[in-house]
């Protein structure tokens, strides 16, 4: 019998934990042709999430729990769950029931028909702020213009991966992880499955603007060197302007009496060039920061507790 792993990242999800487990459990029971394991990754929650997960794991031997020593973020939590799963295929799904667990059955069907990655494509999104919808829409289009890979539009992290694609993905150990982009990069036979995204079952989003911006930065810098090239282009254009400025200065010096009034021009030039230099340095700094964090080769996460795993697993 094939084994199906389901990975659920959880951060302060006490309001949804039980309901989420119940629905996943029902769906997985329905897939009776498969054995399954349900892996919850507690991403350093500060509420009762871990306690609830302990209770669930105590009752259900198919449930496993990985608990982080602190909050490492959604993308890392997903990675940890996938690292620690044994399935012939693995599904990643949010804890908040925005992605209906029932869709997993359809994903499994597509997998049996030969797809190696089945990703959920959001059809309708209820209960999301206009800002989130709009920013998501333009973000995906923007990143696709910049990125070296085609990242499918309107997809999140709800997807099924076959063992081959999964192992390829897990071979990428970079620190700044934009999982949906990395899975797209891996290739294999990928299939989109449209579904309706529901409102959050309970609780509030764990993705405040700050985390969204960080994810967006990881996506852009992780998959594109365009910002670096932009630095070069801006630097080049500024140099041309500066050269024209030098010619003008010389002309003013040699052929007019107006040199003292050149103060305005001088100030503008200094400020302008200073500003551009800082901008370009900033962009370069972003990449250097990434080189630094990659070079440290830190572990991606620290598991403080493993529940439901046998010894040696
Ligand atoms: N999540 C996580 N770590 C974080 C933030 C979020 O594990 O630092 C989990 C969260 O518990 C949920 C999933 O990632 O299962 C998606 O988060 P959320 O639903 O809050 O994001 P949204 O759907 O609002 O984009
Ligand atoms: Mg959500």
Which residue's CA is the nearest one to ligand 1's atom 13?
Answer: 94
| β-strands 117-125, 155-162 pairing | antiparallel
Contacts of 94 (CB under 8 A, 6+ apart): 8, 9, 156, 157, 158
Q: Which atom of ligand 1 is nearest to the CA of 156?
A: 25
C-alpha separations of 191 from 120, 160, 188, 195 in Å: 9, 10, 10, 13
**pLDDT on residue 159:** 96
pTM: 0.83
Q: Which atom of ligand 1 is nearest to the CA of 204?
A: 20
Q: Which fold has domain 3-206+299-307?
A: Spore Coat Polysaccharide Biosynthesis Protein SpsA; Chain A (3.90.550)
Query: Residue 200 CB: number of other CB atoms within 10 A?
Result: 19
> Which of helix, strand or coil describes residue 229?
helix
Query: Residue 12 CB: number of other CB atoms within 10 A?
Result: 19
Name residues contacting ligand 1 (CB within 6 A).
9-11, 13, 43, 71, 73-74, 77, 94-96, 98, 205-207
Q: Which atom of ligand 1 is nearest to the CA of 200?
A: 19
Which residue's CA is the nearest one to ligand 1's atom 23?
Answer: 205
Q: Which atom of ligand 1 is nearest to the CA of 72?
A: 8
Looking at the CA of 200, which ligand is closest? Answer: 2
> Which of helix, strand or coil describes residue 69?
coil
The torsion defined by the Cα of 57, 207, 175 and 287, in degrees rounded to 10, comes to 180
**pLDDT on residue 19:** 95
For ligand 2, a single-atom ion, the residues with CB < 5 A are 94, 96, 98
**pLDDT on residue 259:** 65
Residue owning tokens 């769906």: 27
Looking at the CA of 8, which ligand is closest? Answer: 1
**pLDDT on residue 298:** 72
Question: How many whole angstroms from 229 Cα to the centroid of ligand 2?
Answer: 35
**pLDDT on residue 222:** 85
Q: How far apart are CA 157 and CA 139, in angstroms?
A: 15
pLDDT tens-place values along the chain, 313 residues long: 999 999 999 999 999 999 999 999 999 999 999 999 999 999 999 999 999 999 999 999 999 999 999 999 999 999 999 999 999 999 999 999 999 999 999 999 999 999 999 999 988 766 777 887 788 888 888 888 887 788 888 889 999 999 999 999 999 998 899 999 999 998 899 999 999 888 888 888 888 889 989 988 898 888 887 887 777 788 778 878 877 877 887 887 788 876 676 767 787 788 778 778 878 888 888 888 888 778 877 788 888 789 989 876 7
Pocket residue to mutate for ligand 1, from 46, 93, 94, 156, most atoms within 8 A of Cβ = 94
Is residue 285 within 8 Å of 277, Cβ to Cβ? no
Best CA proximity match to 181, nearest among 282, 103, 78: 78
Question: How many whole angstroms from 80 Cα to the centroid of ligand 2?
Answer: 19
Question: How many whole angstroms from 250 Cα to the centroid of ligand 1?
Answer: 60
pLDDT digits (tens, 9 = 90+) for 69-83: 999 999 999 999 999
The token pair at 224 is 């594109």
The token pair at 303 is 């598991």
> Which of helix, strand or coil describes residue 85?
coil
- Positive or negative CA dihedral for 70, 71, 76, 80? positive
Best CA proximity match to 162, nearest among 195, 121, 190: 190
Question: How many whole angstroms from 121 Cα to the centroid of ligand 2?
Answer: 14
The DSSP call for residue 66 is E
């Amino acid at each position: 019998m094939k084994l199906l792993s389901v990975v659920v990242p959880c951060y302060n999800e006490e309001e949804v934990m039980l309901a989420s487990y119940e629905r996943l459990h029902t769906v997985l029971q329905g897939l009776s042709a498969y054995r399954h394991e349900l892996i919850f990754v507690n991403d350093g929650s500060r509420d009762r999430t871990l306690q609830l997960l302990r209770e669930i794991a105590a009752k259900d031997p198919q449930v496993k729990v990985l608990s982080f020593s602190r909050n490492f973020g959604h993308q890392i939590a997903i990675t940890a769950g996938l690292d620690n799963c044994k399935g012939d295929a693995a599904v990643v799904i949010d804890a908040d029931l925005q992605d209906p667990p029932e869709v997993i059955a359809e994903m499994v069907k597509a997998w049996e028909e030969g797809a190696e990655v089945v990703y959920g494509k959001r059809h309708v999104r209820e209960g999301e702020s206009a800002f989130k919808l709009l920013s998501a829409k333009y973000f995906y289009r923007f990143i696709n213009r910049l990125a070296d890979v085609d990242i499918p539009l309107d997809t999140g992290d709800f997807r099924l991966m076959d063992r081959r694609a999964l192992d390829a993905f897990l071979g990428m150990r970079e620190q700044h992880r934009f999982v949906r982009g990395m899975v797209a990069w891996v290739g294999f036979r990928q299939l989109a499955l449209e579904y309706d995204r529901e409102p959050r079952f309970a609780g509030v989003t764990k993705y405040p603007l700050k985390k969204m911006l960080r994810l967006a930065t990881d996506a852009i810098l992780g998959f594109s060197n365009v910002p670096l090239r932009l630095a070069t282009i801006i630097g080049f254009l500024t140099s041309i302007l500066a050269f024209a400025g030098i010619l003008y200065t010389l002309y003013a010096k040699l052929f007019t009496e107006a040199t003292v009034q050149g103060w305005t021009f001088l100030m503008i030039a200094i400020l302008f060039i200073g500003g551009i230099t800082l901008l370009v340095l900033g962009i370069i700094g972003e990449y250097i920061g990434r080189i630094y964090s990659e070079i440290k080769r830190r572990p991606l996460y620290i598991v403080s507790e493993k529940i439901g795993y046998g010894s040696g697993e």
